[in-house]
Copies of this chain bind each other. A is one copy, B any other.
Amino acid sequence: MDKKRIVEPRTLPGFMELLPHEQIQFNHIKDVIRHTYEQFGFLPIDTPIIESSEVLLAKAGGETEKQIYRFNKGETDLSLRFDMTVPLAKYVAKNYNDITFPFRRYQIGKVYRGEKVQRGRYREFYQCDIDIIGDGELGIVNDAEIPSIIYNIFSQLDFGKFTIRMNNRKILSGFFNALDLQDKIVDILRIIDKIDKVGKDTIKEMLKEQGVSEDSIERIIEFVTTKENVIEYLKGLNIEDETFNTGVNELEQILKYVKAFGVPDNYYMVDLSIARGLDYYTGTVYETILDEHPEIGSVCSGGRYENLAEYYTNKKLPGVGISIGLTRLFYILNEYNLMKEDTKKSISDIVIIPMLDDLSYPIEVATKLRNKGINVEIYLENKNMKKKMNYANKQNIPYAIIIGEDELNTNTVTLKNMITGEQKNITVDEVSI
């Protein structure tokens, strides 16, 4: 036989592949998100990563379509999902008769976009989505529950103080309507978005270049910088626009209930400058900003939409939802060093180091501890003490149990705290962690 050709073992650029201790941290975040989604009664679904291109691209176009992984397998034109929303729309339309509405679902999984490769951009990344879908209608109170979910996730994850910013697209539309600037909303909001970076004066200059009148500019600046008593301020504008007033009403109701949902006052605010995807959201919109790092942008966003699945069904299916881009979030947490030092870095609670030829007793100890619900691994290789302890140290396992002749003869174990170095001789039943 020929000498084998060795292929360099590499992972594609734009694809995150973590070492085990990093993966444990990643999974911890994923577990907190899943657990919180379930605590709020969201049901799991798991749609395929591959869909028929005709189905997946029923709506898509422009930038998104170019990024899609699309290919033929035999005669079939296939695409990899690029978000969780389109598969949800397909799922709800397909299973309309088997679903109970309002349909509260979560989906956590990988999606694919062939973006230009650059630091912090991924072609394969996890999205963690929840949506509440109504059949024909969906009460506005649902929009008040969303900030509570965000609050629960990010306070458990403990990456530092954060603020959930909320707005309502109807208020934006109505306001710019009243200024007769509805055609320029997109451009104006893009400019406004830079206000924290470039300052008010530059913004005014840029709006002027857009042909916005001085009076309107003043009103716009006041509007987007009002952060307190927002409802009173909005009502005081006396704008006679139905959309505007509906939006103010919705926002008022949401603010009434957010507190009952347990979100502390200093964790949420109205920010009239945020808009999110302009062609998609139609009511409430959310962003979540890490207070110490606003430059990162939103780490959890979403909003209310009129109709989820218009490309698959004539049923009107309004919804509200949020998404966490977990892969990018994890990258950022590492870049900014925001991961808690004490985040669990090991899977095992205890590693057993046998110092005996016959491994029966150490194995019995492991079995007993596992039956108590403790994660235990045994170092089974026949190496010297140094190599064995070295393994325990490298794995960041908090406790080691050392078992030699003495322990065997006295039916005990030596439990060593790997952080303090403290150790004690006890029975297996006394082991607790």
A interface residue numbers (CB < 8 A to B): 4-12, 15-20, 23-24, 26-27, 38-52, 54-55, 58, 69, 71-74, 76, 78, 89-91, 93-95, 98-100, 102, 104-105, 110, 112, 114, 123-124, 134, 137-139, 141-142, 144-145, 148, 152, 256-257, 260-262, 309-314, 347-348, 351, 359-361, 363-364, 366-367, 370-371, 373-378, 380-382, 391, 394-395
Contact = CB atoms under 8 A, between A and B. Distances in A.
Nearest to A397: B41
Nearest to A368: B262
Contacts of A40: 370, 375-377
Nearest to A18: B46
Contact of A112 (B38, B50, B152, B381): B50
A370 B39 contact: yes
Given A12-B78, A69-B78, 8 more contacts: A4-B310, A9-B89, A9-B313, A19-B98, A41-B348, A260-B360, A260-B367, A262-B371
Given A23-B44, A24-B44, A376-B41, A9 B370 contact: no
A94 B10 contact: yes
Contact of A311 (B4, B47, B364): B4
A90 B17 CA distance: 11
A314 B6 contact: yes
A197 B74 CA distance: 37
A303 B100 CA distance: 45
A38 B375 contact: yes
B9 A90 contact: yes
A232 to B, nearest CB: 21
A148 B58 CA distance: 49
A114 B256 CA distance: 53
B311 A55 contact: no
A263 to B, nearest CB: 9
Nearest to A106: B347
Given A40-B376, A100-B394, A311 B24 contact: no
Contacts of A123: 50
A402 to B, nearest CB: 16
Contacts of A376: 39-41
Contacts of A256: 360
Contact of A114 (B18, B74, B373): B74
A142 B380 contact: yes
Contacts of A148: 367
Contacts of A395: 100
B381 A50 contact: no
A105 B377 CA distance: 12
B104 A17 contact: no
A134 B16 CA distance: 25
A417 B264 CA distance: 33
Contacts of A378: 41, 145
Contacts of A370: 39-40, 152, 262
A134 B114 CA distance: 36
Nearest to A11: B48
A213 B265 CA distance: 87
A367 B41 CA distance: 12
Contact of A41 (B23, B134, B261, B347): B347
B48 A380 contact: no
